[in-house]
Amino acid sequence: METVVLFYVFAALAVISGLVVVFSRNIIYAAFSLLFTFLGMAGLYVLLSADFVAVAQIMVYVGGILILLVFGVMLTRKVTDVEAQATAKTSWPSVVLVGLLLGTLMNVLTKAEWRTVDSVPDIAGTTMELGELLMTTYIMPFEVAAILLLVAIMGAALIARR
Partner 1 sequence: MDWTTIGLTHYLIVSAVLFSLGVLALTIRRNAVLMLMGVELILNAANLNFLAFARYQGLNLDGHVMALFVIVLAAVEAAVALAIVLHVYRQHNTVEADRISSMKE
Beta carbon of residue 92, minimum distance to partner 1 (angstroms, whole number): 9
Other beta carbons within 10 Å of 43: 20
Is residue 70 within 8 Å of residue 148, measured between CB atoms?
Answer: no
Amino acid code (one letter) for 101: L
Residue ranges in 122-141 that form contacts with partner 1 under rule CB under 8 A: 123, 126, 129-130, 133-134, 138, 141
Cα separations (Å) of 135 from 86, 141, 150? Answer: 47, 10, 19
Residues binding partner 1: what is the number (CB under 8 A)? 79
Task: By CB under 8 A, tell whether 109 contacts partner 1.
Answer: yes
The angle subtended at Cα 13 by Cα 31 and Cα 25, nearest 5°, is: 35
The residue within the footprint of partner 1, chosen from 9, 82, 139, 148 (CB under 8 A), is 148
Among 101, 135, 139, 143, binds partner 1 (CB under 8 A): 101
Task: Give the integer Cα–Cα distance in Å for 156 and 126.
Answer: 33
SS3 124: coil
> Of 79, 80, 119, 140, which lies in the binding site for partner 1, with binding defined by CB under 8 A?
119
Nearest CA to 45 among 60, 59, 57? 57
Q: Which amino acid is at 120?
A: V
Instruction: Determine which residue in the list 83, 121, 124, 140 makes contact with partner 1, applying CB under 8 A.
Output: 121
Choice between 3 and 79, CB closer to partner 1: 3
> Within positions 3 to 62, which residues make up the interface with partner 1, using CB under 8 A?
3-4, 7, 11, 14-15, 18-19, 21-22, 27, 30-31, 34, 37-38, 41, 44-45, 47-50, 52-53, 56-57, 60-61
In the complex, the smallest distance separating the C-beta of residue 79 from partner 1, rounded to whole angstroms, is: 14
